[in-house]
Amino acid sequence: MHPPLIGSDLHDITALLSTLTGQDPPAFRARQVYDAVYRQRVQSASLITTLPKPLRERMESEGLLGLPKPAHVYESSDGTKRYLLELNDAKTVETVLMPEGQRYTFCISSQVGCPVNCQFCLTALLGLERNLTAGEIVGQILYVAAANGLSADVSKLNVVMMGQGEPLLNLPNVVKAVRLLADPDGVGLSERRLTLSTSGITPRIYDLAAEPVRPKLAISLNASSEEQRQQLMPITRKYHLKDLIEACRAWPLRSWEHLTFEYVLLKDVNDTDADARRVVKLLANLHCKVNLIALNPGPGIQFSTPDPARVASFQAIVKRSLPCFIRKPRGLDIYAACGQLKRMSTLTEIAI
């Protein structure tokens, strides 16, 4: 089995062409294929018309493009769509498309399931099934963009790695995907439009910081103290909160960048005014903003959602010191909102 074209860089494409043809391809060949896959975003290998017909037809018959196939699509009353996409081993992964006026945000997955056991998250209940390849990460965007006629203008597209999985536990594939997405000769998304959210795998934050092409960083804080975070996010027992904040301090911010801290509010657990004051202290002197997310509930989750007045009071305290926003849930009715990705079925399925 050859690795598919989506996810391949120029070097991989050259290797594939030489295996398929039995000779070293001229240098321009790999470029032509790369351009067709990522810039033109062809939907089938048979449409790579710069290639000789027999070669592209062979690629097509061997399924070498590697786009995911839609298994189910759910559409929310707010316009959000949740895609269950089938990979070539029949496993499925979820991608969410959120239209906002003229802009579109793609929430993509980095793993099938997630090995991090956050107590408030439905994805955690799946456990880890496997890592996604770079091609499977990029393929989510290429498929969903094409299915919604969004192929032309990348300046309207944002990508957040906030779907299933902990991206920093699949770092090599995530880094390769980010390079492909941010390449101006390829998909052409700006690094400014890419955000990676992590539960705080501290050593990998340093690794990502050393990458020449890297997304913006969002950190799922979710607690105001080490003890509370250990309860809610057991991974903190291994990667301590103090070290996480230090890694954030060391992140080499670009001139246009700030850090984002996400904080899931759980009723009577981490949502008091005292928690808000501790969050402010914890984040002192970091160039950052805070996004509050009132818990999105789901079966098997033991917490409840705080009242809007409690959320507002928490926000008011943080806001005195830091920019602080309340993240509006998107696609709640179709299990597409933060922390709800667990391949749930709902009645609002739309025809593919």
Task: List the single partner that 4 binds among ligand SAH, ligand SF4, none, CB under 5 to 8 Å by kind.
Answer: none
**Which residues would be at the binding site for ligand SF4 (CB under 6 A)?**
114, 116, 118, 121, 123-124, 166, 199, 220, 339
Task: List the single partner that 318 binds among ligand SAH, ligand SF4, none, CB under 5 to 8 Å by kind.
Answer: none
- 270 touches 278 (CB < 8 A): no
Task: List the single partner that 109 binds among ligand SAH, ligand SF4, none, CB under 5 to 8 Å by kind.
Answer: none
| 84-92, 129-137, 295-303, 343-351 -> range binding ligand SAH (CB under 6 A) | 295-303
Does residue number 162 form part of the binding site for ligand SAH (CB under 6 A)? yes
Between β-strands 288-294 and 259-265, what pairing exists: parallel, antiparallel or unpaired? parallel
Closest CB to ligand SF4 among residues 317, 344: 344
- Which residues in 20-49 are b (16+ Cβ under 10 Å) and which e? beeeebeeebbebbbebbbeebbeebbebe
Distance, CA of 278 to CA of 245 (rounded, Å): 13
Task: List the single partner that 93 binds among ligand SAH, ligand SF4, none, CB under 5 to 8 Å by kind.
Answer: none
What single string gives the DSSP state of each residue in 140-187? HHHHHHHHTT--S-GGGEEEEE-SSS-GGGGHHHHHHHHHHHH-TTTT
Closest CB to ligand SAH among residues 166, 275: 166
Does residue number 121 form part of the binding site for ligand SAH (CB under 6 A)? yes
Closest CB to ligand SAH among residues 76, 220: 220
Distance, CA of 107 to CA of 80 (rounded, Å): 11
Rg of the Cα atoms in the chain: 21
Size of site (CB under 6 A) for ligand SAH: 19
Please name the residues in contact with 168: beta carbons below 8 A apart, sequence gap of 6 or more: 174, 196, 198, 201, 204, 205, 208
Cα dihedral sign for 342, 343, 345, 351? positive
Task: List the single partner that 236 binds among ligand SAH, ligand SF4, none, CB under 5 to 8 Å by kind.
Answer: none
Distance, CA of 221 to CA of 269 (rounded, Å): 14
CB of 31 to ligand SF4, least distance (A): 37
Does residue number 199 form part of the binding site for ligand SAH (CB under 6 A)? yes
Closest CB to ligand SF4 among residues 166, 275: 166
Strand partners, 326: 292
CB-side neighbour CA atoms (13 Å) of 272? 8
| Alpha-helical regions (H) of the chain | 10-21, 27-34, 53-61, 134-147, 171-182, 202-209, 226-232, 241-250, 273-282, 308-319
Among 45, 126, 292, 293, binds ligand SAH (CB under 6 A): 293
Which positions are annotated as active-site residues? 94, 338
Task: List the single partner that 296 binds among ligand SF4, ligand SAH, none, CB under 5 to 8 Å by kind.
Answer: ligand SAH
Closest CB to ligand SAH among residues 14, 260: 260
CB of 82 to ligand SF4, least distance (A): 15
Closest CB to ligand SF4 among residues 3, 115: 115
- Note the residues at the interface with ligand SAH (CB under 6 A): 114, 118, 120-121, 162, 166, 197-199, 220, 222, 262, 264, 293, 295-296, 301, 338-339
